């Protein structure tokens, strides 16, 4: 399994555009799990003062990717094959926190779930399940 420092270095090197300016931060790693933060920016706002759906989908996708990567190592180029999101509550205009855990880590497929929260809230604003295809090694 990769360490927090290793995964951060990997993202800095391979995905500079998504970690630039602190857009996403990996806050914690655990076996088969991770917690990430997506920094609030006013261009995420939609009419009514809520954060856009794609902002939450993107956070979920990054969270699943990071969790799979930390579990199988940085060589593999895993790709998302399915993502299902339920929007539960209107997020407040502040940082989003994701909590991801893998439900399955197989040879060919990894499946995980992600709960997304407005920072400081207990009830999730969205819930996601996603599948990653793992290439032959």
Binding interface with a second copy (CB under 8 A): 14-15, 17, 43, 46-48, 52-54, 57-58, 61, 77, 79-89, 103-104, 108-109, 111, 113, 123-124, 127, 129, 131, 133
Burial class (CB in 10 A: 0-12, 13-18, 19+), 50: middle
- Closest to a second copy by CB, 14 vs 27, is 14
| Least CB distance to a second copy at residue 45 (A) | 8
Q: State in angstroms the smallest separation of the CB of 30 from a second copy.
A: 17
Distance between CA atoms of residues 101 and 33, nearest Å? 4
3 vs 81 by CB, closer to a second copy: 81
Q: CB nearer to a second copy: give 5 or 79.
A: 79
Say which residues have a Cβ less than 8 Å from residue 90's Cβ, sequence separation at least 6. 48, 50, 125
| Whole-angstrom distance, CA of residue 28 vs CA of residue 34 | 6
């Amino acid at each position: 399994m990769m360490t927090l420092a290793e995964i951060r270095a990997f993202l800095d090197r391979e995905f500079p555009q998504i970690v630039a300016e602190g857009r996403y931060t990996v806050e914690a790693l655990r076996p088969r799990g991770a917690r990430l933060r997506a920094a609030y920016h006013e261009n995420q706002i939609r009419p009514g003062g809520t954060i856009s759906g794609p902002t939450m989908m993107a956070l979920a996708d990054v969270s699943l990717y990071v969790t799979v990567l930390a579990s199988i190592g940085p060589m593999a180029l895993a790709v998302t094959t399915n993502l299902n999101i339920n929007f539960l509550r209107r997020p407040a205009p502040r940082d989003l926190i994701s909590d991801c855990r893998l439900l399955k880590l197989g040879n060919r497929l990894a499946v995980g779930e992600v709960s997304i929260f407005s920072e400081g809230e207990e009830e999730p604003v969205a819930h996601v399940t996603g599948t990653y295809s793992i290439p032959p090694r």
